[in-house]
Structure 1
């Protein structure tokens, strides 16, 4: 049975990583959207790049906002229902789905593109590929976080029944 201390440390590590990688994805996707809005999107699949990069921008904003709120809130009010299991599961699940959708669709669009051989028409090719990599990393971290939260949910449910709804099992 995980103690309060172990839960707090694991939460801090997982949400710290989620927040760090989310901020990096936010910076990359925001600079790409800003650059392409000023200079135009790559001509190969203009609509495709627009939607895919913006999905990742939304996913990274979502992850950053909820990552800050859940990390700070849990550290200050960990025993409060407002920062319980359900309050963690919903935003993290939405963030995971958004990142998987964005990363998979941008991967499919850029999979066959070699940035060393592209013409000047596709500026920031390497940055787009970097966004794909950081998005997959964030997807994996979010998956691990979801497994952690679901495990805590089952432990809390098994020990306390339906009445205990914070992340602490003890």
Structure 2
């Protein structure tokens, strides 16, 4: 059975990493949306780039906001039901789904594009590919976080039954 200290340290590391990567994705996607809104999206698949980059912007805002709330809240009131397993699982699952959709769809769009050969027709090509990379990293970290939370849920349920609902298993 994991100790309270081990859970607190694991939570801090996972959510700190999630928060850091989400902030980076937020900055990149916000800069891209601002740039493309001002100068226009790439001429090929204009609507496709608009939707995909904005999905990643929403995913990064969502994950950043809930990452801050859950990290600070868990550190201050970890034993309170408001920062239990279910309040962690729902926003992390939604963030994971948003990132998975955005990352996969943007990857499919820019996979065959060579930024060196695109020239001026695709401004910020390298930044878009960087957004794809950081989005996949955040998707993987969110998956690891989900596995951590689900494992804790099963451990807590097996030991305490239905009534224990915080992340602390002891």
Equivalenced residue count is 170
The separation in 2 between residues aligned to 1:119 and 1:8, in whole angstroms, is 49
Q: Which residue of 2 aligns with 1:77?
A: 77
Deviation at 1:119, TM superposition (A): 2.4
Deviation at 1:169, TM superposition (A): 0.2
Q: Which residue of 1 aligns with 2:67?
A: 67
Q: Which residue of 2 aligns with 1:56?
A: 56
Residue pairs, 1:107-118, within 5 angstroms: 107-118=107-118
Residue pairs, 1:1-170, within 5 angstroms: 1-170=1-170
- Any gaps of 5 or more consecutive residues in structure 1? none
Q: CA RMSD in A?
A: 0.3
TM-score of the superposed pair, with normalisation by structure 1: 1.00
The separation in 2 between residues aligned to 1:19 and 1:73, in whole angstroms, is 14
TM-score of the superposed pair, with normalisation by structure 2: 1.00
- Any gaps of 5 or more consecutive residues in structure 2? none
| Larger proportion of helix | 2
The separation in 2 between residues aligned to 1:117 and 1:59, in whole angstroms, is 30
The separation in 2 between residues aligned to 1:139 and 1:61, in whole angstroms, is 14
The separation in 1 between residues aligned to 2:112 and 2:79, in whole angstroms, is 49
The separation in 2 between residues aligned to 1:85 and 1:104, in whole angstroms, is 28
Deviation at 1:121, TM superposition (A): 1.6
Alignment partner of 2:121: what SS? coil
The separation in 2 between residues aligned to 1:41 and 1:114, in whole angstroms, is 17
Deviation at 1:120, TM superposition (A): 0.3
The separation in 2 between residues aligned to 1:38 and 1:140, in whole angstroms, is 32
